[in-house]
Amino acid sequence: MSAFIILILILIGLVAGVFSGMIGIGGALIIIPALVLIFGMDQYAAQGTSLAVMLPPIGLLAAYNYYKVGAVNWKYALIISIAFFIGGYFGSKITLSIPESIIRKGFAAFLILIAVKMLISK
């Protein structure tokens, strides 16, 4: 694994952590699309890897099912999960200084952007 790939994985984890700390999202809306769009993972591998990131206690059994069919990249999951942990701390600190109404509107706009991107892509 190259230093560039490790850097991108760290960035994905940090962004997911910050958004998780700010508005309670991360895996499904940040990590899975990033793994599919940036790394070209198939949907199953992206979902399995995302679940492995949040393994204890959220996705242990679900990640195990993906693992049994070879659809988990443990190296990616480990790097992203460490960065996600750190990003979550800073995201929550940032959010607590922003008015709730702005956070709510930002969350809605982000959901719309992701939905549009998913609708227009292959």
Could you report the per-residue pLDDT of 71-92, keeping only the tens digit for each? Answer: 999 999 899 989 988 988 888 8
Model pLDDT for residues 21-46, shown as the tens digit of each residue: 777 677 678 888 889 889 999 888 88
Percent share of the chain, pLDDT over 70: 93
Per-domain boundaries in the chain:
3-120
Which tokens is 17 given? Answer: 């952590």
pLDDT of residue 59: 67
101-121 burial code (b ≥16 CB/10 A, e <16): eebeeebeebeeebeeeeeee
Which tokens is 65 given? Answer: 């099912």
pLDDT of residue 57: 57
**Contact predicate 80/13, CB 8 Å:** yes
How far apart are alpha carbons 49 and 77 in whole angstroms?
6
**Global pTM exceeds 0.75:** no
The residue type found at 113 is L
